[in-house]
Structure formats: C-alpha cells, structure tokens
Amino acid sequence: MKNNNKSALPMPLFPPYEALVELDFNDYPTLGAFLQSSDQPWRIQHWQWAKQFLVYIGRNKSSHTYVRFRNEVERFLLWLFHERDIPMDTCRKTDILLYADFCWLPPEHWINTVNVDKFILSNGCYIANDAWSPFKYTVPKNIQLLSVKQPSAADPGKHTIDKRQYQPSQQTLSAMFTAVGSFYAYLMAEEMCYANPVQVAKKDCRHFIYDAQVKDVKRLTASQWDYVFNTALDMANKNIKYERSLFVVCALKTLFLRISELADRPNWTPVMSHFWEDSQENFWLKIYGKGRKIRDITVPNSFIIYLKRYRQSRGLPPLPHSSEQSPIVEKIRGKGGMTARHLRRLVQEVFDLAYISMRDQEGEDRARKLQEASTHWLRHTGASMEIERGRTLKDVSEDLGHASMATTDTIYVQTENANRAKSGKNRKVSD
C-alpha cells in the first residue's frame, strides 16, 4: 500500500509509565494532533491498544521491562503508521518479516547517536522532541572516532559518525520479536486481535543466526582489574569526593552487583540498613534484583573496609544501624540515591583513567579492553575470579541471583566446552 508519509520524521508516541497512565492529549498537543490527523481511524485505536498493553506491563513488570517493551511497540506502530500503512490486525507473516528487514536496516533519519528526551516541556505542555529517533546507534567506546565517515569540512580533525554502520545485534532482534509478539498475545487475550503473526514469522527471519560458538565472558583480567582498583583508590586518596567512586567500583566487582541494583528506582531505594549482620557475625546485603526478587548476598570481610571508609567520608558511623535510611550511594548535590546513568558515569571515569595508566605502562594491546568495558564487566570479573579461586558454583550462583546453577555454569564455567577443549588439545597432525 502506498504511503506518502515515508519521508516524514517519526515522533515519539509514549512517555514514561507514570505519565502514560494519566495521559491527557491537552498536555501532549503534538502527539494528539499526530494521532488524530490521519484519515485512518485505526491509528488512534492502535495507540489506545498499545497504551493498555504498556500500562499492564508497567504495573506488573519492572521499569526496565516497561522501557524495553515501550520502545519496541513504539517502533512497530511507527512503522505501521509511516511505512506500511496497514492496521496491525491485518498483518500476516510476510508483513512481520518485512518489519524485521526494516529493523535490520532502518533509514538514517530513523537513527540517533545520542540519548535525548522523547518530549520537551514548553509553555506548560509536552512537545515531541524533533531530535528524537526510534533507533539508537551506540558506537563502541574503543572505536568512537574510528567507525566514521570522512573528516568534516568544518573541522578536518573531527569525524562524524556514519549511521549506515548501524546493525542490530541478535539479542536486539530477538527482543523485538519478543515484545511485538507479547503485544499481539495480549491483544488476543483481550479479543482485540485474533491472530499472532509474530509466532510463525520468527523462525523464518533471515537475519537470525543460530549461534553455537564458544562464548567469551566479558570481563577484566586480573591485571586490568588491578589498574581499575588502584586508579579508584588513588582518586579517593587525593580527593574525598571520589570515595564514592571507589565504593561503587568495589561493590560492583566484589558483590557481583548489576548497576541497577545500586541505583535509586521508583519502587526501591537501596539504603544502608540493607547491610545487616547475622548472629554469627556474617555480613549480608539485601538486594532487589531482576524479576522483582529480593535476595541476600554475602558481604566479605575485605569489602567492609571500603564500606566503612565510604561511610566515614559522608560523616556517618563506620557501620550502618538496623533502621538507617541513608541511601547506599548518595548524591553529592541534592538528596537521595543516584540513578543508574549517574552511577555509570562514575565508573566510566575510573575506566578511562585506568586505561590511560595501563596503556602508558604496559602498552595499548594489554590496556585496550578497558576502553570496551562496561559496568557489567565488573560483575562478570568478580564472579569469574571467585570461581577460579575455587568457591562452589552453588554459592556463587546464589550471590549472583541466578535462577539455577546451569545459568552460572553456562556464563562463567562452560564445563562442556572446557572438557571438549581438554579432550581436543592432544589431537595429532601425524602419527
């Protein structure tokens, strides 16, 4: 079907969960005008369907799941509105496969390279942000100035990012099928749609690669970790404000934490009383993790030194008391805990300085992984080192918050691959 809107810039359709629940088009005039401007009544109907689904997700799932599903459903609807111009309840397997092709290679004007707000507050209303795009191209940190076009004429020494290099990962593609498929399943349960074309389309998607490769854990070597730790320690020794960075880096690595588990969230604030001591003088930390599950993880004696050090830098007693409500990681300016984004910035600063230090002392080859590293690498590093130290898989698995030891083995140990490598090592080229 021909669509004259293909060249139009896509606009955001859904605000954060709290705003979506009570959304009034008078407060979002550009969104209301867009949805009501079409001569196709199904556009506003589909938006209402998606709103119901996303409110359901936001109420019953984690904030992370809401954001992930919102982004995928938003992209799908925008494709229907701008590119395909057909109602979703008429989509067949072929349409879903065409959408997968579109996600694999979206137009450049659908791609952004920076995070921007979907809506901007202007004159008391929320206006769609023209700088927003449905797809985000995240350039790997170690090649941010290498995966580029020719130097710009205005600044020959500065390169611009080539959006044509965008390509979704297999995980991203799978997440698209999961979210859009769940949307259809919800509508079927509510008797709004009577088929789910996503289920039959996924197995025929030509972009899926079924991977049987040996997985390499994204972690730091012992030497790289030493540089990260010593860099954070040196920063804290020179300036008390970096005690927070030292604490965060040590917590992520030693306690195997996800960055979200240290962050302030709408339904959970990590506070100091979540550190607790049992009757046998063992320390534990209560964590609100994935799947809205609360677990207790062991806190080693070596970490207590950095807990005390960070608390003393904040003017607090060395150890928390049982009813203390101070955030575990506190903002320097303002009150309350820190968001995951702010925590990542703290860790990234340490990584950047550690990379420079290691590069200068040991060379680029040994240091380059520090340019690729993310906060999650610290969790993988700590868990891998514990397993290498000889700690039982069951105990590490429980501290990680994995549902089963099989997950821990698959990620960190890969027993079958280790046995296969060992058995294959002594093959002969000739007798």
DSSP letters along 198-258, please? HHHHGGG-TT-----PPPPP----HHHHHHHHHHHHHHHHH-GGGHHHHHHHHHHHHTT--
Cβ neighbors of 241 (< 8 A, separation 6 or more) are: 332
Per-residue pLDDT band for 215 (boundaries 50, 70, 90) equals: low
In this prediction, residue 212 has a pLDDT band, given cuts at 50, 70 and 90, of: low
Instruction: Assign domain 222-419 to its CATH architecture.
Output: Orthogonal Bundle (1.10)
β-pair type (283-288, 294-299)? antiparallel
Q: How confident is the model at residue 158 (pLDDT cuts 50, 70, 90)?
A: very low
**Is-contact 48 14, C-beta < 8 A?**
no
Q: Is the Cβ–Cβ distance between 260 and 340 less than 8 Å? A: yes
pLDDT digits (tens, 9 = 90+) for 261-319: 999 987 889 999 999 999 999 999 999 988 788 999 999 999 999 999 999 999 999 99
Sorted by where each begins, the domain ranges of the chain are: 17-204, 222-419
The reply to whether the predicted model has a pTM over 0.75 is no
Residue 185 confidence (pLDDT): 96
> Kind and range of the H or E element at 275?
strand 275-277
Can you tell me the mean pLDDT for 72-92?
A: 95
- Report how far residue 25's alpha carbon sits from residue 337's, in angstroms, rounded to the nearest whole number: 33
Separation CA 418–CA 294 (nearest Å): 33
Look at residues 353, 256, 233 and name the one whose alpha carbon lies nearest to residue 305. 233
Residue 343, φ and ψ in degrees, nearest 5? -65, -40
Closest residue by Cα to residue 399 from 254, 264, 207, 270? 254
